[in-house]
Amino acid sequence: MRNVRTLGLLGTGVIGGGWAARALHFGIDVIAADTKPEMEGWIRAAVENAAPALARLTFAPLPPKGKLSFTTDLHAMAARVDFIQENIPEQLELKQRVLADVSRHCAADVIIASSTSGLMPTDLQREMVAPERFCVAHPFNPVYLLPLVELVGGKLTSAQTIAAARRLFTYIGMHPLTLRHEIPGHLTDRLQEALWREILHMVNDGVASTGELDDSIVYGPGLRWAAMGTNMIYHLAGGESGMRHMLAQFGPCLKWPWTKLEAPELTEQLIDRMVEGTEAQAAGRSIRELERLRDDSLVAIQQVLRQYNIGAGATLRALEERLYADAAQSARPHGVAAALSRIDTHVRPEWVDYNGHMTDFRYMQVFGEAMEALYRRVGIDEAYRLSGRMLYTVDTHLANLAEARVNEPLYATTQVLSVDDKRLKVKHRLYCGPADKLVATGEQTHLHVNTRVGKASPMDEEVRRRLARLCESAAGLAQA
Ligand X SMILES: NC(=O)c1ccc[n+]([C@@H]2O[C@H](COP(=O)([O-])OP(=O)(O)OC[C@H]3O[C@@H](n4cnc5c(N)ncnc54)[C@H](O)[C@@H]3O)[C@@H](O)[C@H]2O)c1
Rounded to 10 degrees, the C-alpha dihedral 74/66/13/31 comes to: 0
81 binds ligand X (CB under 6 A): no
DSSP conformational letter for 459: P
Least Cβ distance, residue 233 to ligand X (angstroms): 25
- Which of the stretches 82-90, 147-155, 248-256, 339-347 binds ligand X when contact is defined by CB under 6 A? 82-90
418 binds ligand X (CB under 6 A): no
Least Cβ distance, residue 90 to ligand X (angstroms): 4
Q: Which residue is nearest to ligand X (CB)?
A: 13
**Site map (CB under 6 A) of ligand X, residues 109-148, x = contact:** ------xxx--------------------xxxx-------
CA neighbor of 81 nearest in space, from 93, 69, 89, 94: 69
295 binds ligand X (CB under 6 A): no
Does the bond joining 142 to the residue before it have cis omega, within 30 degrees of 0? yes
Q: Which is nearer to ligand X, 37 or 239 (CB)?
A: 37
H, E, C per residue of 296-321 = HHHHHHHHHHHHCCCHHHHHHHHHHH
Q: Which is nearer to ligand X, 141 or 160 (CB)?
A: 141
34 binds ligand X (CB under 6 A): yes
DSSP annotation string for 106-171: S-TTSEEEE--SS--HHHHTTT-SSGGGEEEEE--SSTTT--EEEEE--TT--HHHHHHHHHHHHH
Distances, alpha carbon 408 to alpha carbons 109, 305, 362, 363, in Å: 44, 26, 14, 14
Rounded to whole angstroms, the Cα distance separating 476 from 118 reads 62
Least Cβ distance, residue 40 to ligand X (angstroms): 11
Least Cβ distance, residue 115 to ligand X (angstroms): 4
List the one residue from 4, 6, 8, 11 that touches ligand X (CB under 6 A): 11
Rounded to whole angstroms, the Cα distance separating 294 from 311 reads 18
Q: Which is nearer to ligand X, 88 or 172 (CB)?
A: 88
| 3-class DSSP state of 287 | helix
Least Cβ distance, residue 101 to ligand X (angstroms): 9
**Site map (CB under 6 A) of ligand X, residues 13-32, x = contact:** xxxx----------------
- Which of the stretches 5-13, 53-61, 173-181, 436-444 binds ligand X when contact is defined by CB under 6 A? 5-13
DSSP conformational letter for 263: P
Q: 12: how many CB neighbours lie within 10 A of its CB? A: 25
> CB within 8 A of 163, min separation 6: which ones?
1
List the one residue from 3, 35, 249, 278 that touches ligand X (CB under 6 A): 35
List the one residue from 23, 30, 39, 120 that touches ligand X (CB under 6 A): 39
87 binds ligand X (CB under 6 A): yes
Least Cβ distance, residue 227 to ligand X (angstroms): 23
- Which of the stretches 10-18, 75-83, 194-202, 376-384 binds ligand X when contact is defined by CB under 6 A? 10-18
Strand partners, 204: none
Q: Which is nearer to ligand X, 114 or 415 (CB)?
A: 114
93 binds ligand X (CB under 6 A): no
Q: Judge whether 189 and 177 are in contact, CB under 8 Å.
A: no
12 binds ligand X (CB under 6 A): yes
Q: How many residues bind ligand X (CB under 6 A)?
A: 24
Least Cβ distance, residue 79 to ligand X (angstroms): 15
Rounded to whole angstroms, the Cα distance separating 11 from 381 reads 40
Least Cβ distance, residue 12 to ligand X (angstroms): 5
Residue 227 sits at the vertex; the CA angle it makes with 290 and 316, to the nearest 5 degrees, is 75
Least Cβ distance, residue 129 to ligand X (angstroms): 18
> CB within 8 A of 312, min separation 6: which ones?
146, 147, 148, 175, 226, 301, 302, 305
Rounded to whole angstroms, the Cα distance separating 239 from 374 reads 45
Q: Which is nearer to ligand X, 57 or 102 (CB)?
A: 102
Q: Which is nearer to ligand X, 14 or 300 (CB)?
A: 14
List the one residue from 36, 167, 244, 332 that touches ligand X (CB under 6 A): 36
List the one residue from 48, 73, 90, 350 that touches ligand X (CB under 6 A): 90
Least Cβ distance, residue 139 to ligand X (angstroms): 6
- Which of the stretches 84-92, 127-135, 363-371, 447-455 binds ligand X when contact is defined by CB under 6 A? 84-92
Contacts 24+ apart (CB under 8 A), 419-425: 419/464, 419/467, 419/468, 419/471, 420/464, 421/448, 421/458, 421/459, 421/464, 422/447, 422/448, 422/456, 422/457, 422/458, 422/459, 423/447, 423/448, 424/391, 424/448, 424/459, 424/467
Residue 331 identity: A
What is the binding site for ligand X (CB under 6 A)? 10-16, 34-36, 39, 74, 87-90, 98, 115-117, 138-141
